[in-house]
C-alpha cells in the first residue's frame, strides 16, 4: 500500500469507527432503570395440594423437552403434568411487582389460580406469605397483599395510553425461576386482540418472555410500568419473538375495584360481532371495510332495548371510532354501569345514532332449548347448497332463537362453499331477511339478484358469523 493510500485509508477507518461508537451511544441504557426497580419486582410461588386424578397447576403442557438438569428445574418449578397423580403438593412459579409501600402486589390471575398457599420472595431473599385480595379472570389480573415490618420498595406506575409502537421497553421477572432477569425490546403493536380474550387489548412486544415471567412488569424508558407481562405466542413453549402484556391502565382499574369491593364489574352491550371483510363491506354497501358487524343481539340486552339489530355495523362508540372491531370490547367493558353512550352504526348504507344505557356484564348468557319445526330438506342448484330443518339439540347448543334457522346438510363446490359456508352451519339470515324454515329459505334464495354479493349470517360452534355470498350470473 502506498503512503498516499495509507494516509487516505486511515481517516476513513477512523470515521467508520467513530460512526459506530456514535451509533452505539444512541442505544438506550437500561442500567439505572434496573437499579431503581429491581427491588420492587418479586418472585411468586404457589403450593396446591393435589388429589389423585387431579392435574398439576401450570404444568409443562406445550413446553419443549429439555435435557438435564433443566428438565428437573422445570419439574420443580412448574410441577409434573398428567392425570392420575398421587396425593401431594404441586408448585408453580411466576412474577409480580409491589405497587404500594404497605405491600400490595400485582400479578397474573393464572399465576396464583387454585393455589392453597402463595409465597412471595423479595429481592433481598425474604419469603413472606401473601393474602389473596381478589382476582379477575377476564383480565387475568390478581391482587395480593403481604405484611412487612417496614415500607417496601415500589414501582412507578405509568400510562399505557401514551405508549408508542417502536418504543423501547424492558421486562424484569423470573423466567424458569431465574430471579431478577432483565430482557429488552420494542413495542411491536398496540390494541392486539387474542383468541378467547375479549376484554383486554394487549401490548405486543418482542421482549423475551418465558414461563415464570408471567405477572412481571413491563417498563418504558422512564422507568414507569406500562404493562403486565401475561402471554406468549409459541409453537414450542418457549419464546419466539411474540409476547403480550396487559396495559397498566386496565390493570390499575381492576386493582382499584378489587380494593374497593373485592370484585370487578364491566359494562355490557349485549351483542356478538365480527370483522367486516372487503366482500362483506361490499355486500352492505360500504365504501371500505371498517367497524364491528353485529352478528347477534342478546334478548333483553342494552343493545336490543336501544334498537340495535343484526347486520348493523358499529363504527363509533361513545365518541371513539371503531375502525377495528377489536377495540370495542375494552371500550364497552370499561364503561361505567348505567352510563348512556352514543353508538353510531351503518344500517342499509346510512349512518344512524343510538343512545344505549350500559348494563353490568352478567356472569353468563342464558340460553334455552326450543321446539324444532318439521319440514323437508331443500337443495339449491344455483348455490350448490342443501339445507334442512333445525333440531332441538343443535338449536340449543348454538343459541339459535326460536322461529329461525335451517341447518346446512349438503354442500358442493360452488358459490356457497366459496363464501365459507360449511356443512353443519345454521343459516339464520340471508340478505337482511330472516330465514325461518326451509320454505322461507327457498323463497329468499329464489329472490336473490344474479351477480349480487349478499351477506349471509350463520351460527356455528365458534359463534355467529357473517359471510359474503356472491350469487352467480
Per-residue pLDDT of the chain (473 residues; tens, 9 = 90+): 555 454 555 565 565 655 555 555 578 999 999 999 999 999 999 987 765 444 444 433 334 444 444 444 444 444 444 444 445 565 768 999 999 999 999 999 999 988 889 999 999 999 999 999 999 988 999 999 999 888 999 999 999 989 999 999 999 999 988 999 999 999 999 988 776 667 888 999 999 999 999 999 999 999 999 999 998 887 776 778 899 999 999 999 999 999 988 889 899 999 988 889 999 998 888 889 999 999 889 899 999 999 999 999 999 999 999 988 878 888 898 899 999 999 999 998 899 999 999 999 886 533 333 333 334 577 888 998 989 888 777 777 787 877 788 999 888 888 999 999 998 899 999 999 999 888 889 899 989 998 999 999 999 888 889 999 999 98
Contact 115, 129 (CB under 8 A): no
CATH of domain 156-261: 2.40.10.10
Give the pLDDT of residue 16: 60
3-class SS of residue 366: coil
Nearest residue to 140 (alpha-carbon basis) of 211, 230, 63 = 230
Nearest residue to 390 (alpha-carbon basis) of 378, 407, 409 = 407
Bridge partners, 218 (sequence order): 171, 227
Cα 318 to Cα 286, 321, 328, 332, distances in angstroms: 22, 8, 10, 9
Neighbouring residues of 313: CB distance < 8 A, sequence distance ≥ 6: 276, 284, 286, 290, 291, 292, 293, 294, 345, 346, 347
Q: Give the architecture-level CATH label for domain 378-470.
A: Roll (2.30)
Domain boundaries, the chain: 33-145, 156-261, 267-360, 378-470
To which CATH superfamily is domain 267-360 assigned? PDZ domain (2.30.42.10)
Bridge partners, 344 (sequence order): 316, 353
Q: How far apart are CA 345 and CA 353, in angstroms?
A: 6
Contact 294, 273 (CB under 8 A): yes
Neighbouring residues of 7: CB distance < 8 A, sequence distance ≥ 6: none
3-class SS of residue 119: strand
Nearest residue to 184 (alpha-carbon basis) of 173, 198, 196 = 173
Known catalytic residues?
A: 110, 140, 214
Q: Domain 33-145: state its class.
A: mainly beta
Q: How far apart are CA 343 and CA 306, in angstroms?
A: 10
For 294, the grid coordinates are 353485529
Same fold, 267-360 and 378-470: yes
For 334, the grid coordinates are 370499561
Give the pLDDT of residue 311: 92
Cα 109 to Cα 142, 230, 310, distances in angstroms: 5, 9, 35
Rg, the chain, Cα only:
28
Nearest residue to 378 (alpha-carbon basis) of 405, 419, 404, 409 = 409
Amino acid at each position: 500500500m502506498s503512503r498516499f493510500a495509507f494516509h487516505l485509508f486511515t481517516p476513513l477507518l477512523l470515521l467508520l469507527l467513530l460512526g459506530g461508537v456514535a451509533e452505539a451511544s444512541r442505544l438506550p441504557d437500561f442500567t439505572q432503570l434496573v437499579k431503581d426497580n429491581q427491588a420492587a419486582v418479586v418472585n411468586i410461588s404457589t403450593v396446591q395440594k393435589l388429589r389423585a386424578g387431579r392435574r398439576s397447576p401450570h404444568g409443562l403442557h406445550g413446553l419443549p423437552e429439555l435435557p438435564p438438569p433443566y428438565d428437573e428445574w422445570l419439574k420443580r418449578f412448574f410441577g409434573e403434568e398428567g392425570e392420575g397423580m398421587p396425593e401431594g403438593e404441586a408448585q408453580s412459579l411466576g412474577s409480580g411487582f409491589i405497587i404500594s409501600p404497605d405491600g400490595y402486589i400485582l400479578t397474573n390471575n393464572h399465576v396464583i389460580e387454585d393455589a392453597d398457599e402463595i409465597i412471595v420472595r423479595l429481592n433481598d431473599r425474604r419469603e413472606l406469605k401473601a393474602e389473596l385480595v381478589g382476582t379477575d379472570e377476564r383480565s387475568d389480573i390478581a391482587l395480593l397483599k403481604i405484611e412487612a415490618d417496614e415500607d417496601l420498595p415500589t414501582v412507578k406506575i405509568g400510562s399505557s395510553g401514551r405508549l408508542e409502537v417502536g418504543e423501547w421497553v424492558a421486562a424484569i421477572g423470573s423466567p424458569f425461576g431465574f430471579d431478577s432477569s432483565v430482557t429488552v425490546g420494542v413495542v411491536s403493536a398496540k390494541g392486539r386482540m387474542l383468541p378467547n380474550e375479549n376484554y383486554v387489548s394487549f401490548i405486543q412486544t418482542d421482549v423475551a418472555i418465558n414461563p415464570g415471567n408471567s405477572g412481571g412488569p413491563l417498563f418504558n424508558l422512564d422507568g414507569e410500568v406500562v404493562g403486565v407481562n401475561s402471554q406468549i405466542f409459541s409453537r414450542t413453549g418457549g419464546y419466539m419473538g411474540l409476547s403480550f402484556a396487559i396495559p397498566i391502565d386496565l390493570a390499575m382499574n381492576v386493582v382499584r375495584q378489587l380494593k374497593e369491593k373485592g370484585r370487578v364489574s364491566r359494562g355490557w352491550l349485549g351483542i356478538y360481532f365480527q370483522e367486516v371483510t372487503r366482500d362483506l363491506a361490499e355486500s352492505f354497501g360500504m365504501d371500505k371495510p371498517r367497524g364491528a358487524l353485529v352478528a347477534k343481539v342478546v334478548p333483553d340486552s342494552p343493545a336490543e332495548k336501544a334498537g340495535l339489530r343484526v347486520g348493523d355495523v358499529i363504527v363509533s362508540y361513545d365518541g371513539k371510532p371503531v375502525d377495528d372491531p377489536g377495540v370495542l370490547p375494552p371500550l364497552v367493558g370499561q364503561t361505567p354501569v348505567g352510563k348512556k353512550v352514543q353508538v353510531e352504526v351503518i344500517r342499509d348504507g346510512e349512518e344512524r345514532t343510538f343512545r344505549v344505557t350500559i348494563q353490568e356484564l352478567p356472569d353468563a348468557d342464558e340460553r334455552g332449548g326450543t321446539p324444532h319445526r318439521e319440514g323437508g330438506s331443500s337443495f339449491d342448484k344455483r348455490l350448490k347448497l342443501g339445507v334442512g330443518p333445525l333440531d332441538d339439540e343443535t338449536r340449543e347448543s348454538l343459541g339459535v332463537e326460536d322461529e329461525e334457522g335451517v341447518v346446512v346438510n349438503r354442500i358442493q363446490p360452488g358459490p356457497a362453499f366459496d363464501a365459507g359456508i360449511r356443512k353443519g352451519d345454521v343459516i339464520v339470515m340471508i340478505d337482511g331477511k330472516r330465514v325461518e324454515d326451509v320454505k322461507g329459505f327457498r323463497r329468499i334464495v329464489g329472490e336473490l339478484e344474479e351477480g349480487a354479493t349478499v351477506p349471509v349470517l350463520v351460527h356455528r360452534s365458534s359463534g355467529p358469523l357473517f359471510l359474503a355470498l356472491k350469487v352467480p350470473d
